[in-house]
Structure 1
Amino acid sequence: MGREVSAGEGSVRDRPGEVDDSRERLFRLGASALTDPELLGVLLGGGARMRALAETLLAMQGGLKALVQQEPRELSARPGMGAARTAQMLAALEWGRRAQRVRERRPRLRTPREIFTYLAPHLSALRREVFHVLCFNARNVLLLDARVAEGTINACMVDPREVFAAAITSRATAIVLAHNHPSGDPEPSGQDLSLTAQLIEAGRVLGIKVLDHVVIGDGSYSSLVERGELPRVGGEKASWGMAGEHG
């Protein structure tokens, strides 16, 4: 008797004559020339059948971002995926995110745009809200990037003690608050604004300045400083890099 082939990963194979030229186009034109289904198909193993599987997955989930935000166990249960292909895909996506990260161990970040560029690879594709505290010295050099809270898809409880523990541990003179909105819309909520005001007041007592609160969305961000919505303490005007050129 012939060996049985179980359903799942081994059941999706190219038939004779089914050819996908995505790999050839990748080598000829570069990976950036491929569409999302073509790239995913190559990642899953190449061939016309993998391209078809990729197109089905993207169509069912509503695009690449929605696909990568799905729980791994749910994704692995999709016909044709299985644990190995799911792990391979998610590992490759994480590899890509890490490759985008700032290579400097202690980068100097002086604007909200630079904060967004630094954080987007970490936060933009997450399925739940997380809250980061970026701790700086007087020259805007990043001393510590601490994730101090993790929440749900639309909420994240933040303990001020955790925020300032990170700042004190790193001997920071200033911090930037940052969190993501998994919905992709970086518009700050009322809770975001009230939390920011609370943390600014706590920082005033401790002598640690809150420079900004940056909300990370899908390819975009909101900065409370740029919006003119960062609460002021004692009438002081909020600005970036106030010590950066003189510290």
Structure 2
Amino acid sequence: MSISIKDLPDEERPREKLLTLGAKALSNVELLAILLHSGTRKKSVFELSQEILAKYKEDGLASLVNSSPKELISIKGLGLAKVTTLLAAIELGLRLAKKPSAQKLAIKRPLDVVNYVMPRLRYEKKEHFAILLLDTKNQIIAFPDISIGSLNASIVHPREVFRCAINHFASSMILVHNHPSGDPSPSMEDIHITKKLIAGSKILDIEILDHIIVGDNKFTSLKQQGMIK
């Protein structure tokens, strides 16, 4: 028997539960049910939500980030209105995650960097090479992209990296890039580019503190690996 939201007591209905207990108290199914609003004649909104989560169970909600409208519409019960609502909610979440804090954040350890950059880079399909620019107190000044695409020496040129650092009056920087494969292990190219940029940093007296490689909720710090002295 299909259970609809109307069959539930008021305190168990997703909207009422959210208003009473807050969004964090809701399961993924309940949050999706609120966004979808309704099911179909043969399928309740809960069943539809469960079907979506089951379809993407391998990577969970992360898979929805890169889902296309065409892919989502292929799920029976999802029309244009529901699909656009889902994709708009996902994009809003991503933009909030990427929005820099109004208060300057001081970087004290690699995990501080990871917590700052992971929401922005974790779901990217291409490699993004960026630099975290810091002031004399190790507070974040800016986090600009330098290049997008397969990481190699022709794309990541020291000139662009240090021009950006100089323009922001940075005292030091941390190199950051992602591996779309999810594996943050450094490649030979990663190590080569790091050494090349460190050589340039010594001339300009803008210290490179670390190179953080982000994977799927994992990271590698070249500093911790002993590759940066």
Aligned length: 214
| Cα 1:17/1:57, change in 2 over 3 Å | closer
AA of the residue aligned to 1:37:
V
TM (normalized to structure 1)?
Answer: 0.73
Q: Separation in 2 of the partners of 1:206 and 1:86?
A: 50
Give 5+ residue unaligned stretches, structure 1.
1-15, 231-237, 239-247
**1:58/1:67 contact within 8 Å kept:** no
Is 1:44 aligned to 2:36, yes or no? yes
The residue number in structure 1 matching 2:52 is: 57
Share of identical aligned residues, percent?
Answer: 35
One-letter code aligned to 2:15: R
Is contact 1:177–1:213 with CA below 8 Å preserved after alignment?
A: yes
Output the CA distance in 2 between the equivalents of 1:44 and 1:92: 11
Unaligned runs of 5+ in 2: none
CA distance in 2, matches of 1:198, 1:25: 55
For the aligned residues, what is the CA RMSD?
2.8
Task: Give the structure 1 partner of residue 88 of structure 2.
Answer: 91
Correspondence for 1:18: 4
Give yes or no for contact 1:120–1:216 (8 Å, CA) kept in 2: yes
The residue type equivalent to 2:14 in the other structure is S
State whether residues 110 and 140 of structure 1, in contact with CA within 8 Å, keep that contact through their aligned partners in structure 2: yes
Contact (CA 8 Å) 1:57, 1:67: kept in 2 or not? no
Query: Residue 44 of structure 2 aligns to a residue in which SS?
Result: helix
Q: Secondary structure at the match of 1:178?
A: strand
Structure 2: how far apart are the matches of 1:123 and 1:84?
Answer: 28
Please state how far the C-alpha of 1:167 moved relative to its aligned partner.
1.0
Deviation at 1:213, TM superposition (A): 0.7
4+ long deviations beyond 4 Å: none
TM-score by length of 2: 0.78
Q: 2:141–2:170: 8 Å Cα contact kept in structure 1? A: yes
AA matched with 1:146:
P
Answer yes or no: is the 8 Å Cα contact 2:184–2:220 preserved in 1: yes
Report the CA distance between 1:203 and its aligned residue: 2.0
Secondary structure in structure 2 of the residue aligned to 1:211: strand
Q: C-alpha offsets along residues 152-172 of structure 1, whole Å, 9 cap, x if unaligned?
A: xxx344322322221121122
